[in-house]
Amino acid sequence: MNSQSIINQSKSPLAWSDLLFRINQTWKKIRGFFELLWASPTAMIGLAMVLIWVFLAIFAPALTRYSPLEQDYKNINKSPSAEHILGTDHLGRDVYSRLLFGARTILLLGPLSVVVALIIGIALGLPAGYYTGWLDEVIMRILDTFMAFPAILLYMIIISALGPSSMNVVIAIAIGGIPGIARLVRALTMDIRTREYVKAAKLRGDSDFTIMVREILPNCRGPLIVDFLMRIGYAAFYIGTLGFLGLGLPPPTPDWGGMVQEGHTHMMANIWPVLSATLAIVSLVVGLNLFADGLREESMRYQ
């Protein structure tokens, strides 16, 4: 009884200090990340550009007076005015409102498709790099066939087969991203698996799955984060492109690519829908790329 209570007494502060440590560790990681950010003006500018869009997308209902779908036939193709900040399109819909709600779609679908690609890419790349041999050959040759198609062609094939919907856009972009991510993970795994801590894990009889997930995957995170950010930029770009080709979200959903597509026939009369949607795509993609590039440069500077 007595010894039991001693163990209990010594146990609870231990558990607390353990929890405190984990929190502290996470906090340190976050702080280290922000220190990295502060040191790189490129990354800061990129992050600011992205955050502006995130802010606008989140508070879109509060920041707009009109619904993005509301059509006003009396005010078609109007230039910017106090009523409509960015004017109206060929159906009399408020361009500013469509832009903000369009940001919601792109900021939701972009990351979502990359996350899907990331999960599948890791699931294929980790075993390929870890086992090598015939498994690696089979996985990589299959992914090579996907890489043989130009990205946009691949997306067009997939969407024409599945039909345009937001779900299918995610699927198409995810499939397009898998080979690249799998290759990156495979290369990192092939390097990390020769480290001695992996041998140590084998020496305690850990299963291959445990070794891959616990020992190897966490050490791939640096390059993967940068790649992830870059890919969101590309995804945004391709969602725009698909929208422009009429393969994006079905109308009347507000979609930047779709706005360019619908607006470009009326461009001579009213340039605002095309111009604002184009600038929106450009600023988001450039912002994400600057952010990723800045992070990569800064984290490699003093090595």
HSE-CB for 292 with a 13 A CA cutoff: 19
Q: Is residue 133 part of the contact set for another protein (CB under 8 A)?
A: no
Q: What is 259-279 written as a DSSP string?
A: HHHHHGGGTTT--HHHHHHHH
Residues 217-256 that bind another protein (CB under 8 A): 218-219, 221
Residues 274-303 that bind another protein (CB under 8 A): 301-302
Q: Which stretch binds another protein (CB under 8 A): 42-50, 74-82, 119-127, 213-221?
A: 213-221
> Closer to another protein at the Cβ: 62 or 196?
196
Q: Is residue 205 part of the contact set for another protein (CB under 8 A)?
A: yes
Please select the residue that binds another protein; options are 119, 200, 213, 282, rule is CB under 8 A: 200
How big is the chain, counted in residues? 303
Neighbours of 2 (CB within 10 A): 6
Please select the residue that binds another protein; options are 6, 7, 63, 213, rule is CB under 8 A: 7
Cβ atoms 80, 34 nearer than 8 A:
no
**What's the closest the beta carbon of residue 83 comes to another protein, in angstroms?**
50
Per rule CB under 8 A, count of chain residues that contact another protein: 26
Q: Is residue 13 part of the contact set for another protein (CB under 8 A)?
A: no
Cβ atoms 202, 243 nearer than 8 A:
no
Q: Is residue 199 part of the contact set for another protein (CB under 8 A)?
A: yes
Q: Is residue 27 part of the contact set for another protein (CB under 8 A)?
A: no
CA distance 40 to 54: 21
Give phi and psi for 86, each to the nearest 5: -110, 20
CA 185 from centroid of its chain's CA atoms = 17
- Candidates 198, 219, 224; CA nearest to 210 is 198
Q: Which stretch binds another protein (CB under 8 A): 113-121, 147-155, 204-212, 263-271?
A: 204-212
Give me the residues that bind another protein (CB under 8 A), please: 7, 10-11, 14, 18, 21, 25, 39, 195-197, 199-206, 214-215, 218-219, 221, 301-302
